[in-house]
Amino acid sequence: MYQESRCFGIGILCFNRYLSLVEHYDIIIVGAGLAGLTAALDLTLKKHSVLVIEKDTFPRHKVCGEYVSNEVHDYLDHLGVGLEEVRPISINTLLLSTGKGKSVKTKLPLGGFGISRYTFDNLLYQKAVSLGANFLFQKVASISFQNNGFKVFTNINRAFTSKFVIGAFGKRSNIDKSLDRAFIKRKSHWLGIKSHYVYDDFPDDLVALHTFKGGYGGLSKTESGALNFCYLATYKSFQKYKSVQEFNENVISQNPHLRTFLKDAKPIFEEPLSIAQISFHKKGSRREPYSDVWRFGGIDTSALWEWYGDGYT
């Protein structure tokens, strides 16, 4: 009897110890891209306790076109994010070319601005921290929903609970696999490549979209003066070449505009950034088992479109 009581007492102590180690928040956001960061800002301003779990620290470069539509200014002002301190590039002109070099240029009535993800994400992160949002730089290992709440465990067994979880973890994730989301079972045939260049001949006020066989690429200046070149290409067009440089020389350079750019520009990155499995499939539906309790943000809500044309708003 004594032994049973002793074991029971130890069990209670262990359970209480577990509860003391579990941190609770109103909302946990998984992923700190633009969707996760703006959600953290908005919810913290509304006095919710927020934890953002992100695998990578700031600042960091990401594969992105780095052109933002001016329509976001009012919302950024609402969040208290001052862009003037980072001096983004004002853009009001679009150049569009075919693979053979035929082009058309037009003014953009709304316009936008060029800013690197290195700077933009870090700006949002610093603002969220200043408002009281909490950040943890670890990988999420599992998320479960039970007893009207969420349990979130990280890869080093940190445990958290919350009333709500927002999934803002990007295009494809192990979490998508664990949730058995339908889109994750479909292979995507697209990849993305991005790098920054020194190229003084490119106008500051221009965003250019150039097509080539198997894809298209965008050129625009960022706040640092660097020119961002980011493109989408199919695996089919890319797979027979051994490197990004070889693909650039043999495929992308078939477009005369891009050929001139690649010949004269000087790369800033040691190696281009790349991402695989860019999906254009619908990512969720109300028929999926988690739809009543999960909330998704950013490109977790839906697919990217090949010609979005409105910046990453």
The region of weakest confidence among 158-162, 255-259, 282-286 is 282-286
Q: pLDDT per residue over 60-76, tens digit each?
A: 999 999 999 999 999 99
Q: Provide the residue count of the chain.
A: 313
Residue with token string 């950034």: 273
Cα–Cα distance measured from residue 293 to residue 303, given in angstroms and rounded to the nearest whole number: 21
Name the fold adopted by 67-72+89-114+189-276. D-Amino Acid Oxidase; Chain A, domain 2 (3.30.9)
Cα–Cα distance measured from residue 203 to residue 189, given in angstroms and rounded to the nearest whole number: 33
The region of weakest confidence among 6-20, 144-158, 260-274 is 6-20
The answer as to CATH 3.50.50.60 being correct for domain 2-62+116-185+283-300 is: yes
pLDDT of residue 228: 98
Query: For the chain, what percent of residues have pLDDT higher than 70?
Result: 78
Highest mean pLDDT among 7-21, 138-152, 171-185, 284-298: 138-152
Cα–Cα distance measured from residue 207 to residue 106, given in angstroms and rounded to the nearest whole number: 10
| Residue environment code for 187-221, b if the CB has 16+ CB neighbours within 10 A, otherwise e | ebbbbbbbbbbebeebeeebbbbbbbebbbbbbbb
Q: pLDDT per residue over 266-306, tens digit each?
A: 999 999 999 987 766 665 554 555 554 555 555 444 444 34
Q: pLDDT per residue over 78-119, tens digit each?
A: 999 999 999 999 999 999 999 999 999 999 999 999 999 999
Domain ranges of the chain: 2-62+116-185+283-300, 67-72+89-114+189-276
Cα–Cα–Cα angle for 96, 308, 57, rounded to 5 degrees: 110
